[in-house]
Amino acid sequence: MQKSNKSIAGYHLLMILSSVDGEFAPEEGMLVQQYLADEFPFRMNLDNELEVLALLQPEEWKDHFEFHARCFYDDSTEEERINFAKFAKSLIKADHKVTNEEHIFYMLLKNLWHIA
């Protein structure tokens, strides 16, 4: 898999976080749109990224998530990682329920980035 830049990696992380519970809630979609607007002020075609994500099987999510967490880590500051983790937490809480799967992936992100 080819290394992703921070913004693309963040998109992959958020899409997986919003999908691990088996449901992509509209509230989660709004937050992903907010992330895209903040990270890509110019129009960006993410069709290829969405296709990669759509073709992933649930058993592949963890490896894909870890890969993109490392890509994000490599291109970010500690402050950016902390802010992203806070944003990711708001994403998994957006539908007013946090599933075990969402919690596992969120904690995986924090552990990979050494965030307490």
Q: What is the pLDDT of residues 21-39, one digit of tens each?
A: 888 889 999 999 999 999 8
The answer to whether the beta carbons of residues 101 and 21 sit under 8 Å apart is: yes
Q: Is residue 77 a part of any domain in this protein?
A: yes
pLDDT for 19 equals 92
Instruction: Supply the range of the domain harboring residue 100.
Output: 6-112
pLDDT tens for 64-112 read 999 999 999 999 999 999 999 999 999 999 999 999 999 999 999 999 9
Please count the structural domains in the chain.
Answer: 1
pLDDT for 40 equals 85
pLDDT for 88 equals 97
Q: Is residue 40 a part of any domain in this protein?
A: yes
Q: Is residue 39 a part of any domain in this protein?
A: yes
Q: Is residue 46 a part of any domain in this protein?
A: yes
Flag whether pLDDT at 45 surpasses 90.
no
Q: Is residue 108 a part of any domain in this protein?
A: yes
